[in-house]
Amino acid sequence: SWMDITLLHAVRPADFVAKAEIGHWPLVGWMARRGGTIFHRRGSTDSLAQVMGVMSDRLRTGRSIAAFPEGGTAPAGTLKVFHARILQAALDAAAPVQPVALRYLRNGVPAPDVLFTRGESFMHNVFRVLAMRSLTAEVHFLKPVVFDAQGGRRRMAETARAEIAQVLGIRAC
């Protein structure tokens, strides 16, 4: 959700990894570029190599990078498989991975209606969510995941995913 980025950035500023198309969106693209977003052309191995290099360089200088290893929005109550290759930059930079669990609640109950509905445009979702009367956002910073190169990115991804699933009370399939 667009709210995930806003929420995370409000709590802890970071450079985000996002699909390249966002960089061309009016206003949102400008804000993303100004905020240090690293853009990736999905399906392009050249783009992925460039993104990994930029991520590693920034991590080595102490900057925080935020990425969504699911690669997209999952249906409410589910957690998609994490793409471990996005964590290679952390291994290359010898930087820990900080799993973060986000949850939106209304009256203490999960609020799946903040998610995009099938065929819903970005702007329609923004206006629909902003019109909601009551919404609570929870941000859970979990224990950093640190493994050496032998533990590998797959193990880092599986560990982070399992910890997030536990906090959210859902099963990581």
User: CA dihedral defined by 36, 121, 103, 3, rounded to 10 degrees?
Assistant: 30
Mean pLDDT of 87-111: 91
Neighbours of 118 (CB within 10 A): 4
Query: How much is the pLDDT for 44?
Result: 86
Tell if the pTM clears 0.75, that is, is over it: yes
Query: How do residues 23-35 score in pLDDT, each as one tens digit?
Result: 998 888 999 999 8
Query: How much is the pLDDT for 140?
Result: 95
